[in-house]
Structure 1
Amino acid sequence: MRTQVGIIGAGPAGLLLAHLLHLRGIDSVVLERRSRDYVERRVRAGVLEQGTVDTLVAAGVGERLQREGLPHRGIELRYGGAGHRVSFERLVPGRAITVYGQQEVVKDLIAARLSAGGDLRFEVDDVAVHAIDTARPYLTFGGERLDCDFIAGCDGFHGVSRSSIPPGVLTEYVRDYPFSWLGVLARVKPSAEELVYARTERGFALHSMRSAEVSRFYLQVPADENIAGWPDERIWAELKTRLETVPGFTLATGEIMEKSVTPMRGFVAEPMRYGRLYLAGDAAHIVPPTGAKGLNLAVADVRVLTEALARFYESGSTVLLDGYSRTCLKRVWRVQHFSWWMTTLLHTFDSDDAYERRLQLSHLDYVTSSEAAATALAENYIGLPYEEAGAEDEHVARAEPREEPW
């Protein structure tokens, strides 16, 4: 078999890339080791930046998002017995976030690909990457071979793409946090209209939502916490302790549909390209979920890669492909910093002494009282504008010596 772009992974990055390439007249095949039912039910992120929403709508896959998504124009930082709203509508007029589950984005993208006759394969075994340092890379799976012009590794942190790059090529940067998040999906109407980030001496808590009838909660727990030690009654009691800290707020409880423990980690692999293999999304980077950036960062990668591939097929130019990693990493590190900042601002660290905890509270006071500090939070939270490739990028790329990473 042959295609122009072989895509490994049918998560948001791989599916959106396939759809955007289709809109530019570029063929692709998507290979996914999990079943369609699994990827459509897998609960992950649920906060979409303004740019992510705009991208999905412009790509023709935002009809249900616009109908069912919940626009939010602020968040609440809750600490010290008071709630402090950060108003996006005042600080960054015309921009907002939208609450819409990642699994819903995946459903919309799968439906669009199948409707367009896209080649989307689930439950594919033994995917392997070959000859990526040549002009004729290919994939093998289940006894078959797929020849490609390019390969996009969109298969997550544990996928085969990044591990297929020879040793010594990548530099990996890792930050493991000394705690995890216990995540809960509950069939209960949200108790607040917007997301609530709560900092307490017992640890961090987050009140979020997925719809008008389903809520999402997170609790900071020890890094090695066992989910078996958290029966429903204990979860609700701890959520109430950490969230019911302001006058008049009562947390509604209900049926817990799903619960899990997620480690907190920051990770970046550089460069995000080797030969004709391009990494996107979690295959190249991970951020702690405090800033709600994982899915949004994957969308940003895919936008850059789509434009670079389209430029190649339109003109034969490799300028944007050569600059893919550099362009993406600029945003990746900005998002890494923001996610680290939000995490350290709101979580308790066992290593902190009384002095450091007072500094944390002072920082929160500054963020909630300073227009400049609140604006910085709002700008980063709703997502910084995309830096589209243009004439200046072409000039810089021509002026710099070409450095092939293989």
Structure 2
Amino acid sequence: MRTQVGIVGAGPAGLFLSHLLKQRGIESVILESRSRAHVEARVRAGVLEAGTIDTLNALGLGERMMREGMVDDGLDMRFRGRNIHLDLPGLTGRSVRIYGQLEVVKDLIAARLAAGDPILFEAEATHLDDLTVTRPSIHFRHDGKNKILDCDVIAGCDGFHGVCRASAPEGVIQTYTRNYDFAWLGVLAKAPPIADMTYTNHDRGFALCSRRSSSISRLYLQVPAEDDHANWSDARFWDELHTRMFDENRSEIQEGEIFQRDLAVLRSYIASPMQYGRLYLAGDAVHIVPPAGAKGLNMAVADVRIMARAIAAFYETGSSDALDRYTHDCIDRVWRTIRFSVYLTDLLHRFDEHSPFQRGMQMAELDYIAQSEAAQRLIAEQYVMLSDVRD
């Protein structure tokens, strides 16, 4: 097989890239190791920044998002019974939109298949060859056969455990990691959500009330990293959520059937450079962000917007200058976005190792934000549009 751009991975990064390239008249083939059903069922974050919303609409693929997605104009942070309300449009002029990542993926897959553009599901990339020459190749297994896809450029969008980043020689890519000793226990519940996305810093730990629709709540509790969601009965979960949200009379948060549970251990991870030879990496292949701030999908979209622009310049001019600058054009934004997510994580979670002094500093920071419009604007701007890039 032969194409211009070989894309490994049919997550948001790979799918957005394929549509951005097609918009510029560039062919691509997507190889995805999992089945279509698996890819379309993966539950991930659902907060779309302004830049991601604009990108979907510019591709002509945002109709369902605009119809079914929920505009989120507010962000609340609670502590010691107090509430900080951030008016996102008032502070930034923009809002975010609640639209599940799996819904975005469904829309992108459906549009690509409807156009007759190739996605090979259950096509596992096994190794990459000739990354430093003009025609690299992806070796993969599909329909029980070993096959090869020759390309001009390879886009590694296959996540943290994928084959692409590991294909660079040892020592070429440096990694930076911070691990946390707690996790988020997340549930989906058939219950109307509260009005705004709401974080809380309680003496018992962090909690978050989010939403997937007008009738489905997405809810989280901070728990030890070694915990198991099987330890949490419905009653225990609801009791703890009411407590941490300062909902003492249980009148604000509506309970309902919990129909899905998952546990995510938190970490921060950056790999740099984001390229080697004709291999260019995006999304979770090169950065993992703590979920506070909901930046993962939005960072991936920003990566591939820059990558698509660089690939288009390569075909238009014959020069690889823009591709050579790919890491340079991405990495400062990646660090800034990780920094914001780490800041929110440090601000809103309970850390076992914190002294009373450090706990006091958390409360003082929240108290300052409550009283300062400038501090609120700073958080709101980063929440709404930090991952965006300029065209």
TM-score (norm 2): 0.97
Indicate the residue corresponding to 1:44 in structure 2: 44
Q: How many residues align?
A: 387
Distance in 2 separating the partners of 1:33 and 1:334: 31
Mapping of residues 86-125 of structure 1, within 5 Å: 86-93=86-93, 95-125=94-124
**Conserved? CA contact 2:31–2:120, under 8 Å:** yes
Range that drifts further, 84-93 or 170-179: 84-93
Q: Which runs of 5+ in 2 are unaligned?
A: none
**Conserved? CA contact 1:11–1:155, under 8 Å:** yes
Distance in 1 separating the partners of 2:247 and 2:214: 23
Deviation at 1:386, TM superposition (A): 3.9
Letter of the aligned partner of 1:133 in structure 2?
T
Deviation at 1:247, TM superposition (A): 7.5
Q: Is the partner of 1:41 in helix, strand or coil?
A: coil
Deviation at 1:249, TM superposition (A): 4.6
TM-score (norm 1): 0.93
**Conserved? CA contact 1:40–1:106, under 8 Å:** yes
Indicate the residue corresponding to 1:141 in structure 2: 140
Indicate the residue corresponding to 2:219 in structure 1: 217
Once the two structures are superposed, residues 350-406 of structure 1 have per-residue CA deviations (whole angstroms, 9 ceiling, x without a partner) of: 0111111111001001112111111110010001374436xxxxxxxxxxxxxxxxx
Mapping of residues 322-341 of structure 1, within 5 Å: 322-341=324-343
Deviation at 1:153, TM superposition (A): 0.5
Distance in 2 separating the partners of 1:288 and 1:386: 18
Letter of the aligned partner of 1:131 in structure 2?
D
Distance in 2 separating the partners of 1:388 and 1:186: 38
Once the two structures are superposed, residues 133-170 of structure 1 have per-residue CA deviations (whole angstroms, 9 ceiling, x without a partner) of: 22110011121111000000001111111111110101
**Conserved? CA contact 1:157–1:284, under 8 Å:** yes
Mapping of residues 163-312 of structure 1, within 5 Å: 163-190=166-193, 192-245=194-247, 249-312=251-314
**RMSD of the TM alignment (CA)?**
1.3
Deviation at 1:233, TM superposition (A): 2.0
Deviation at 1:41, TM superposition (A): 1.0
**Conserved? CA contact 1:49–1:98, under 8 Å:** yes
Indicate the residue corresponding to 1:362 in structure 2: 364
**Conserved? CA contact 1:81–1:245, under 8 Å:** no
Letter of the aligned partner of 1:325 in structure 2?
T
Letter of the aligned partner of 1:357 in structure 2?
R
Deviation at 1:293, TM superposition (A): 0.3
Change (3 A) 1:246 1:361: farther
**Conserved? CA contact 2:31–2:124, under 8 Å:** no
% same residue? 52
**Conserved? CA contact 2:52–2:388, under 8 Å:** no
Please tell me whether residue 162 in structure 1 is matched to residue 165 in structure 2. Answer: yes
Q: Is the partner of 2:184 in helix, strand or coil?
A: strand
Distance in 2 separating the partners of 1:247 and 1:313: 63
Range that drifts further, 223-232 or 375-384: 223-232
Indicate the residue corresponding to 1:3 in structure 2: 3
Mapping of residues 65-104 of structure 1, within 5 Å: 65-93=65-93, 95-104=94-103
Letter of the aligned partner of 1:198 in structure 2?
T
Indicate the residue corresponding to 1:398 in structure 2: none
Once the two structures are superposed, residues 12-69 of structure 1 have per-residue CA deviations (whole angstroms, 9 ceiling, x without a partner) of: 1101101111111100000111111111111001000011101101111100000011
Range that drifts further, 126-135 or 368-377: 126-135
